[in-house]
Structure 1
């Protein structure tokens, strides 16, 4: 595989009223013009731009003046099944699970992190050139799992943050995680 730079931009803050919005199609708060300007400059020339079909991702791309080359269903956030729309404080307590156990847990009617990561990894494996993905926190963690495995679930991924990975041959390296405007 040729060398490739993969930038993953998490969407701007979701307008989800403090509720889990994995596959729920909510809007984004793109009102922080200074942060959008800073991120646009940080991204620079990015190669191909791929975007999740989610409204919050499309709105974020537009706020940064990005015109996605295509939307990709494989970039959707994790499907949280019956947990979708629950207030964060109403989510079930899974107790102490090791990273691999948490990654394998599948909410009823949804997908596990491992399921989502397999979907994301399949999409990323088809990229042999520089690309910018406008997507979700789960997408970022799934990409990081290419390097660190299920421990990627421990990464905090802020809204409107940038994570950068580089591929040389078959391996990936992390260049930057959770870069945000100052």
Structure 2
């Protein structure tokens, strides 16, 4: 008998970088985001195993949600934006519009010193397929990029579809699967009670 895997991807609350429309430089949650995460504590299954992206905002969100025993996984990191880290989208677009345009439209193109969307989709797909069968529910507090990459993988969409998935803060996207096939329950708001 094959057991179904359940992976609940939870996106972090708003961070300082998101409010500035900047490439994340491992900045903390903003005060409003932290308050929203605390308000959602208790909304997730208490018996689930917990993993998270290595970023500060995922760590802070996990703690605010009461998920203090989360295992950090480098495979769940968001896209490495290389030398663009900490800069706003407008700054990068003004300095090198061609590079930014290619990065946003060509999945094989990486930010200078970073990684490509195709690389992230492959990395997250390997992680998702490596979830141990029958191990119960797994909650993973992850960057929106990870949810996009997992959705690309689960649906068999091309990596070019990555930017077509809007992933909001503090939402849950559920992946259920068995025998190498995944179904996707698209993002629902994370609220307690």
Aligned equivalents of 1:181, 1:69: Cα separation in 2: 20
- Structure 2 counterparts to residues 110-125 of structure 1, below 5 A: 110-125=114-129
Partner in structure 2 of residue 136 of structure 1: 143
TM-score (ref. length: structure 1): 0.83
- Once the 2 structures are TM-superposed, how far is the Cα of residue 40 of structure 1 from its aligned partner? 3.5
Q: 1:115 to 1:38 in 2, by over 3 A?
A: same
Rounded Cα–Cα distance in structure 2 between residues aligned with 1:119 and 1:104: 14
Q: Distance in 1 between matches of 2:34 and 2:74?
A: 28
Kept in 2, the 8 Å contact 1:52–1:73? The answer is yes
Structure 2 residue 52 is matched with structure 1 residue 21: no
2:58 and 2:141 in contact (8 A); partners too: yes
In structure 2, the partner of 1:171 is 181
CA contact (8 A) 2:52 2:142 kept: yes
1:23-50 C-alpha deviation (Å, 9 max, x unpaired): x211013645774366444423362100
Partner of 1:48: 49
Unaligned runs of 5+ in 1: none
Larger deviation, residues 45-54 vs 165-174:
45-54
TM-superposed CA distance for 1:69, in Å, is: 3.7
Q: Tell me the SS of whatever aligns to 1:59.
A: helix
SS across alignment from 2:83: helix
| 1:18 to 1:105, Cα distance in 2 relative to 1, 3 A | same
What is the total number of aligned residue pairs between the two structures?
179
User: Structure 1 residues 178, 91: closer, same or farther in 2, change over 3 A?
Assistant: farther
1:111-150 Cα offsets, whole Å, 9 max, x none, are: 0011112221222222123211111010110111111332
Check conservation: 1:166, 1:174, Cα contact below 8 A: yes
Q: Deviations over 1:30-86 (max 9, x none)?
A: 645774366444423362100122111111011111123411111111111122122
- CA RMSD in angstroms, aligned pairs only: 2.7
TM-score normalised according to structure 2 size: 0.79
- Structure 2 residue runs of 5 or longer lacking an equivalent are none
